[in-house]
Amino acid sequence: MKKSLLFRWFKNISIAKKLYFTVGVMALLIGIELFTLFFSIHTLSSVRAYVEGEGLWSKAQKDASYHLLKYGVWHDEKDYEKFKEFMKVPLGDSKTRKELMKQNPNLQIARQGFIEGRNHPDDVNGMIKLFRRFNSVSFISRAIYYWSEAEPVAMQLIPIGDSLHNEINKASPSPEKINGLLQKINPITEKITVLEDGFSFSLAEGARWLENIILKLLFIIALTVEVSGLLLTISISRSIQKGLSEIISATNSFAKGNLTARAKVFSLDEIGTLAYSFNKMSEKLERSILELEQAQNKFKGLLESAPDAIIIMDNEGIIKLVNAQAEKLFEYNRNDLLSQPISLLVVDNSKNLNTEPEKLFFKLSQMQRLILDVHGRKKNGHEFPIEINFNPLQTEDGLLVSVAIRDISDRKYLKELERKNIELEQFVYIASHDLQEPLNTITSFISLIEEEHKDKLDKEGSAYIDYIRESANRMTMLITDILEYSRIGRKSKFEVVDCNEIVRQVILDMNATLTETNAKITYDKLPVIKGYPIEIRLLFQNLISNAVKFQKKNISPNIKILACEENEYWHFTVEDNGIGIDEKHQDKIFVIFQRLHNVRKYDGTGIGLAHCKKIIELHHGKIWVESVMDVGSKFHFTLPKMEKNS
């Protein structure tokens, strides 16, 4: 747990800190190694000092023994002095040993003792430390044991020396006594030699052990430095490499189009931050790309739903995109059109422009709207008139041009039809005018004959004259009606029309007829509309006069005119109590010159309701009838409401 925590901490610190950390660990380990080296050299040097010390000790003891023997033989006081001088070495060392064996040694005294023992002052401190540090180690303690064993033996020389000195300085020294004393010296020396050997061996063995330990320690530390350095380096470089390769693979994947590609974040160091930033960036990019795609889809949707054929071309006139309408209009498959020049579909018939059509189109597309004398060409070669409309389109691929194309065959046909219609009306107008003149002549002269030659005609002749006049009158009526029919909606102005006023005037005009037939007309709150006043008046006049005319014998006409709102229209009804119209004839009555009755019974030209229909259609309304034979008819028609703001 603790380790994983540390591991996690290490993972998440910055790369710089990781490097500092690694270098720090290495430095620490190297420091430890150096310290160990220093310590071991120091210790070994102290061991060497002991060996030297032992040498000094041993030499001093031997020299002391030699001078004592010499003194015993020659009785020279100088030898005795030398003996005492040499004996100071083991005494000094002894002082140090005894002090150091104490619980709380006086290091000053210990140092003093070693210096008296002729040790080099520079070695003294190290020797004391070695004694104190390692006295429990077997080799050292054994050496100390030999030292402490050898010491009292060596000290035996001192009482021997004192006794010898006393004896020699007596007035009459006894040679026997002196010999006896001298014979004690050699065995001491022999005994000490054995102990000295023991001391030396132990110390040498200790030194070897120490060397061994130190070598191993140094080796272990060096190994630790190298291994830990290597491990840290591998771990850091691995984590860097892992993070980087994750980012690289995510980047490559994203570049290849996988918009959901993200890099795993392994750590919170610079690499982790980089991965996190990359993820943020790709998230934003993904969103932008999706938005772009949506916009593109919207554009495509618009393109496909447009009513016109739309072609998008580049500045070379090469087709880049077409919609379904274009496929339909030109009867090509979409794929057959892409990368083709637009001149495949659009033919310039004007020919007066010596420019390649593609370049011309491009140039012209700079203008906002443009209609040329151009034709479209279908796959089968059939050409048809089109209206063409260019729009420059700034895109990331440069300037493109959207070309909207509309088949105007129908419009041309309609225009043609309209023109023919006008021609026809003109023709009807002139024809009826020209027909009227000879007719006028006929009626004029008939009246002259009647006036001036009546007495010369017999009864039959008078009847013939009547027939001619009646027919001529009827023809005049017919021609007048045709003329009026052709004139409906011509040169008339769209105005605000109050239907109440129109109906009131019509009733006033028809006063004579209405009185004669005892007709009753009711109307209430008719609307104000926008229309052609003369035509609207004619409409009401025709409907009312029909209602009065087609009446049962001996029954007074009762006519009701009503209007109600119906969406954008006013729905009018003109109801009568007349003879009614047979259902099978109800469609016929609005056709020009369709009569249901004999002229003698109900006069008229059969054009009145055709008039009404033309007038209603002129106002974009509808007219129809509802009728029951012998009960009455109800004429319905609709007229558009006036727009509130007009």
Partner 1 sequence: MKKKLSCILLIEDNEFTNIFNQKLIKNLDITEQICVTESGKEGLDFLISKGRFEGNGVSCPNPDIIFLDINMPGMNGWEFIEEFKEIKKNKPISSKIVMLTTSPNPDDEQKAKLIAEIIAFKRKPLTKVIINEIITEHFPDFA
- Select 212 or 441, whichever has its Cβ closest to partner 1: 441
Total residues contacting partner 1 by CB under 8 A comes to 18
> Binding partner 1 by CB under 8 A: which of 2, 369, 459, 491?
491
Judged by CB under 8 A, the stretch of 69-77, 109-117, 316-324, 443-451 that binds partner 1 is 443-451
Quote the CA–CA distance of 406 and 394 in Å, as a whole number: 23
The least distance separating partner 1 from the CB of residue 383, rounded to whole angstroms, comes to: 43
The least distance separating partner 1 from the CB of residue 423, rounded to whole angstroms, comes to: 18
- Select 403 or 488, whichever has its Cβ closest to partner 1: 488
Quote the CA–CA distance of 579 and 577 in Å, as a whole number: 7
Token output for 94 = 């002894």
Token output for 117 = 């023992």
Torsion sign, CA atoms 636, 501, 560, 575: negative
- Select 15 or 483, whichever has its Cβ closest to partner 1: 483
Q: What is the 3-state secondary structure (H, E, C) of 316-334?
A: CCEEEEECHHHHHHHCCCH
Q: What is the 3-state secondary structure (H, E, C) of 115-154?
A: HHCCCCHHHHHHHHHHHHHHCCCHHHHHHHHHHHHHHHHH
The least distance separating partner 1 from the CB of residue 466, rounded to whole angstroms, comes to: 18
User: Cβ(157)–Cβ(188) under 8 Å?
Assistant: yes
Token output for 437 = 């003149």
- Select 389 or 443, whichever has its Cβ closest to partner 1: 443
> Binding partner 1 by CB under 8 A: which of 45, 148, 189, 443?
443
Max distance between CA atoms of the chain, in angstroms, equals 237
The least distance separating partner 1 from the CB of residue 514, rounded to whole angstroms, comes to: 24
User: Cβ(154)–Cβ(90) under 8 Å?
Assistant: yes
The least distance separating partner 1 from the CB of residue 418, rounded to whole angstroms, comes to: 21
> Binding partner 1 by CB under 8 A: which of 444, 462, 471, 518?
444
Quote the CA–CA distance of 213 and 218 in Å, as a whole number: 9
Distance from chain centroid for Cα 163:
114
Which residues lie below 8 Å from residue 506, measured CB to CB, with a gap of 6+?
A: 537, 540, 541, 544
Q: Where are the alpha helices (DSSP H) in 306-389?
A: 324-330, 334-337, 357-364
**CB burial of residue 237 (10 Å; 0-12, 13-18, 19+):** exposed
Q: What is the 3-state secondary structure (H, E, C) of 13-38?
A: CCHHHHHHHHHHHHHHHHHHHHHHHH
The least distance separating partner 1 from the CB of residue 639, rounded to whole angstroms, comes to: 22
The least distance separating partner 1 from the CB of residue 475, rounded to whole angstroms, comes to: 13
> Binding partner 1 by CB under 8 A: which of 366, 395, 447, 505?
447
The least distance separating partner 1 from the CB of residue 329, rounded to whole angstroms, comes to: 45
The 402-441 site mask, x for binding partner 1 (CB under 8 A), equals ---------------------------x--xx--xx--xx
The 470-489 site mask, x for binding partner 1 (CB under 8 A), equals ----------x--x---x--
- Select 1 or 512, whichever has its Cβ closest to partner 1: 512
- Select 181 or 536, whichever has its Cβ closest to partner 1: 536
Which residues lie below 8 Å from residue 640, measured CB to CB, with a gap of 6+?
A: 529, 530, 568, 569, 570, 619, 620, 621
SS3 (DSSP) at 550:
coil
The least distance separating partner 1 from the CB of residue 447, rounded to whole angstroms, comes to: 8
The 514-543 site mask, x for binding partner 1 (CB under 8 A), equals --------------------x---------
- Select 440 or 522, whichever has its Cβ closest to partner 1: 440
The least distance separating partner 1 from the CB of residue 606, rounded to whole angstroms, comes to: 20
The 87-126 site mask, x for binding partner 1 (CB under 8 A), equals ----------------------------------------
**CB burial of residue 14 (10 Å; 0-12, 13-18, 19+):** middle
HSE (side-chain half, CA atoms, 13 Å) at 353: 16
Residue 298 φ/ψ, nearest 5 degrees: -60, -45
Is residue 448 involved in binding partner 1 (CB under 8 A)? yes
The least distance separating partner 1 from the CB of residue 428, rounded to whole angstroms, comes to: 11
Quote the CA–CA distance of 231 and 225 in Å, as a whole number: 10
The least distance separating partner 1 from the CB of residue 308, rounded to whole angstroms, comes to: 42
Q: Which of residues 358-397 bind partner 1 (CB under 8 A)?
A: none
- Select 80 or 485, whichever has its Cβ closest to partner 1: 485
The 160-199 site mask, x for binding partner 1 (CB under 8 A), equals ----------------------------------------
414-440 burial, b at 16+ Cβ within 10 Å, e below that, comes to eeeeeeeeeeebeebeeebeebeeebe
Binding region for partner 1 (CB under 8 A): 429, 432-433, 436-437, 440-441, 443-445, 447-448, 451, 480, 483, 487, 491, 534
